[in-house]
Amino acid sequence: MKIKIVKNGPYIVEGNIPLYREVMTKYKMIIPENWEKVEKFKTGERYALCRCGLSGDKPFCDGSHQAGFDGEETADNTPFIKIAKQYRGKIYDLLDAKPLCASARFCLKGKGVWKQIKEVENEEKLNDIKKEVWNCPSGRLVLIDKSGNSVEPELEKEISILEDNLAGVSSAIWVKGGIPIQSSKGFVYEVRNRITLCRCGKSANKPFCDGTHVKIRFKDETYFKE
């Protein structure tokens, strides 16, 4: 199982990896509560996903990138631990790698996860924090115990096409369970449990999502039908 990035082209998914569409359930205003799977796509052993944002057959590639898509990979592949800031809590600590933010907003629930991690002292509140952090599709946020071990959910190897239905835009491609992502330059990016890939074509941190889809109001017309 792996994802191969084609230079100025699509993501090639190999290994019969399941593909879903997920939407947000509402907590308050545009702050989400959870992810909900609403569709499973029919795929084969190998398929191509659009990363230019122009395909008329989203989320799959239809060759539209050939019109001149600049898919230059600009991410420097610095390990997560080297770019993450640490917030110390009483039970767990929180690592935050802000450059990876995909604007999913689960972390903004209540006082915000950064304040909550400092205050939580019981298991019930700890479970709330886990949910907020684990719903962060990009893996920007990671919990670690006091021994420095990551506290992560067990995720199946699968891919989800995310729709930010609360903000009325289409979001990133969520890669789960530690699927290797091979650069068009030949190397493999750091393998992580949660990571998001750009599908609007405008991220400044390609191949990863940087939240630009919100600013440009990117919409997958196969989901946001007029």
Specify the pairing of strand 19-28 against strand 158-164.
parallel
What is the C-alpha separation between 166 and 30, in angstroms, rounded?
Answer: 5
130-139 pLDDT, tens digit per residue, is 999 999 999 9
For the chain, give percent helix, strand, coil, nearest 5: 15, 30, 55
Residue 125's pLDDT is: 80
43-100 pLDDT, tens digit per residue, is 999 999 999 999 999 999 999 999 999 999 999 889 999 999 999 999 999 999 999 9
Q: Quick check: 226 pLDDT over 80?
A: no
169-185 pLDDT, tens digit per residue, is 999 999 999 999 999 99
Helix (H, G, I), strand (E, B) or coil at 130: helix
Q: Which of 163, 152, 159 is nearest to 130 (CA)?
A: 152
Q: Is the pTM of this model over 0.85?
A: yes
13-49 pLDDT, tens digit per residue, is 999 999 999 999 998 889 999 999 999 999 999 999 9
What is the C-alpha separation between 164 and 63, in angstroms, rounded?
Answer: 25
What region does 157 belong to: left with phi over 0, alpha with psi -120 to 50, or beta? beta
